[in-house]
């Protein structure tokens, strides 16, 4: 059996993922508020207990989605770059292990949005003919180093074919 990948993401991924999750949760809250407002202006008669139940479910969901889930994701996210392939392993409930042969790599890139930039992080994207794979939340230096290393290995694999 193949050993699990050993490299982990930067621990700075946690606040980044929590910020993104919080923003998504705020959007859901705004939608719920809009629905509640709409129900009162259209004279729908919704019992108070439904509002309380929705608020409770939202609160529990917020805690799980913003506080607990990012930590579980971070613990499970692993990657390894080997001479002939890159292996990714991620997922909390359904764990995915992906092997990307270097001979199939067409293009390697780094990307950095405003939240990642604020924390000095970047993501590495590995493009093949079929899809794009991402290693999220690496330090900017590590992402640049990894991009260059994968690109070099892909060129060598391409020459050997």
> For 34-49, how does the pLDDT look when each residue is reduced to its tens digit (9 = 90+)?
988 888 888 778 888 9
CA distances from 53 to 43, 63, 132 (A): 20, 16, 40
**pLDDT reading at 58 higher than 70:** yes
CA–CA separation, 135 and 12 (whole Å): 14
Structure tokens of 138?
């690496």
Look at residue 141 and tell me whether its pLDDT is greater than 70: yes
Percent of the chain with pLDDT over 90: 83
Q: pTM of the predicted model, to two decimals?
A: 0.87
- What pLDDT was estimated at residue 161? 66
Q: How confident is the model at residue 78 (pLDDT cuts 50, 70, 90)?
A: very high
Average pLDDT rounded to a whole number, residues 1-28: 95
Q: What Cα–Cα distance (Å) separates residue 18 from each residue in 55, 131, 151?
A: 20, 27, 31
Rounded to whole angstroms, how far apart are CA atoms 15 and 104?
A: 33
Q: To which residue do tokens 């919704």 refer?
A: 46
């Amino acid at each position: 059996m193949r050993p699990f990948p050993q490299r982990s993401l930067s621990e700075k991924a946690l606040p980044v993922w929590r910020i993104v999750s919080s923003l998504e949760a705020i959007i859901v809250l705004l939608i719920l508020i809009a629905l509640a407002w709409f129900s009162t202006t259209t004279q729908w008669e919704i019992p108070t207990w439904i509002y309380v139940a929705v608020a409770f479910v939202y609160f529990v969901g917020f805690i799980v989605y913003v506080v607990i889930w990012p930590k579980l994701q971070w613990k499970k996210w692993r990657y390894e770059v080997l001479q002939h392939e890159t292996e990714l392993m991620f997922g909390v409930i359904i764990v995915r292990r992906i092997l990307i042969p270097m001979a199939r790599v067409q293009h390697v890139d780094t990307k950095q949005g405003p939240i990642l930039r604020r924390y000095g992080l970047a993501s590495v994207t590995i493009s093949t003919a079929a899809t794009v794979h991402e290693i999220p939340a690496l330090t900017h230096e590590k992402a640049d180093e990894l991009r260059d290393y994968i690109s070099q290995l892909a060129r060598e694999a391409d020459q050997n074919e």
